Structure 1
């Protein structure tokens, strides 16, 4: 029986992981705590085997006034929680980082492999990378640190860019057919992956993703199909969109290229339990 503490009481991933592990009541006891104020510091971590740190600011902002807060929450708080976990005898600390540590999407195809060095392009990405470096310094033989750098996460009730694509698929008659390529990760695949690295008491860097790379237009077409809607794909807008990808963040996120080499994402047990088609159906169903 593993006892797990999730930090980030209202985080999307934290909520979904707690529900996922709840399917195995004989294997896991799961608690969740908010770290928005100082009260978490009074909690005794010594009874937990694992701390899963999902708390943090998840969206990307270019507002310079937000910079200090990003480092305070994404870097400093992460290191503080990890230090407390280590001091109180927790054996594994799992941190949710992001593919964003490698920078933004690009117009041309971009494949991240084992030799690709992190190069954050904003303070969100850098705050995550600095948190990784900080917790790596306190790792020991008794305190295992596992860092997960997922690509775009989506699923039922997810936030971020996926809901925008879903709305577009349900309302637009036409959508651009760009030849971009993205790595994505359905929430069920992520939760199963986390469950496995808890079971196997892993440490190190991990890059889970779905089995399939996808194009943005393919995502929209599949969503439309679930809702019984027909949407026309066209390449007429492609020249304009390609020129806008480097200049506008939202265009970059939707139509840029960013993938992990599939070899980075292999694991000794199968966690990719949802294929892309099934994951869209699960996400879109009422």
Structure 2
């Protein structure tokens, strides 16, 4: 598929992944529109020249309106945090996803790309796990609802009329990434950040532009009905990543704590924030996310999509550093 002049709808267009997808789609001379529940975040995309509908993906009327005249939908909108109510996650991550997909199908959209997560494999999985799985919700609402959404979307796949593509993104970092850049740096500056144990598990990082490249490759190749793991293809330990992040920001190397101690510290911190009615900045479940053991395989994406991550960790950190020089991190967390 030739992308030039194609109409693309990006859900969550004012968020980290959505906004960068919009920027690079505009560079490809695509007609970009978006859907965003927050008017303030919508302005970021509108300033790029994108047409944005303010609405929620769970609202059928808004979803139907957004999908009119669209060739491609890239669905990035989600609830992404370490823990919480399964009902809350399911409303957006499952019901919202099904709602926007059905609206897209009804409107004649040909390609629907779902940005899922490699966290569908849970926290303990085999080395170099492929798209064949096994999948595991691991009693975590984020993992569980991403699995549920994937299953529902594959049932709607019916090319050439309506083709779904699932991209299981690794740990997406780069300018604007809250979990892997902004929040750790804020905690490092406050001398509150520690990685768990010996930090020898693997962070499956993917630089934001590498992920967006994979999105466009999947659309161009019309890989309907397929699922792909997308990472930078590097085996970087948690210790290496967070040490690199600290160095990039001119901060001392972070220290480590045993996994159980770190969980206890975060639990007490969370309870204290609740007591004083402050919004929690990090949940104890974050430790599970930061202690995953192995790399995911990206061989399928390499073979079928000709995906080859161009930006490695060193270059990704350099680009992030340039952004960091002109950014107030606290404003990002509070926005």
For normalisation by structure 2, the TM-score amounts to 0.73
Match 2:33 to one of 14, 31, 34: 31
Q: How many residues are matched? A: 275
Aligned to 1:7: 11
RMSD over aligned Cα atoms = 2.8
Q: What SS does structure 1 have at the residue aligned with 2:74? A: strand
For residues 166-215 of structure 1, the C-alpha deviation after alignment (integer angstroms, 9 at most, x for no partner) is 34555659966522222111111111111222222222101110031211
1:165 corresponds to: 184
The partner residue of 1:136 within 149, 154, 163 is 154
Once the two structures are TM-superposed, the CA of residue 128 in structure 1 deviates from its matched residue by 1.4
Could you tell me whether the CA contact under 8 Å between 1:101 and 1:129 is conserved in 2? yes
Please, which of 209, 212, 215 is the counterpart of residue 188 of structure 1? Answer: 209
Is 1:52 paired with 2:74? yes
Residue equivalent to 1:251: 287
Q: Show the 5 A alignment for 1:230-249.
A: 230-231=252-253, 240-241=258-259, 248-249=284-285
Q: How far, CA to CA, are the matches of 1:152 and 1:55 in structure 2?
A: 16
SS state at 2:236 partner: coil
Q: Which consecutive residues of structure 2, in runs of 5 or more, have no partner in the other structure?
A: 37-54, 268-283, 326-335
* Structure 1 CA distance for aligned equivalents of residues 75 and 254 of structure 2: 42
The alpha carbon displacement at 1:269 in A equals 2.8
Deviates more, 1:220-229 or 1:13-22: 220-229
Aligned partners of 2:10 and 2:73 also within 8 Å: yes
Alignment of 1:22-101 (within 5 A): 22-25=26-29, 28-34=30-36, 35-36=55-56, 38=59, 39-43=61-65, 45-61=67-83, 63=84, 66-101=85-120
Is the 2:229–2:297 contact (alpha carbons within 8 Å) kept by the matching residues of 1?
Answer: no
**Aligned match of 1:123:** 141
What is the CA distance between 1:266 and its match in structure 2? 1.8
Aligned equivalents of 1:113, 1:31: Cα separation in 2 = 33
Alpha-carbon shift at residue 100 of structure 1 (Å): 1.6
Using the TM superposition, give the Cα deviation of residue 245 of structure 1 relative to its aligned residue in structure 2, in angstroms.
Answer: 7.4
Structure 1 gaps, min length 5: none
CA spacing shift, 1:250–1:44, aligned 2, 3 Å: closer
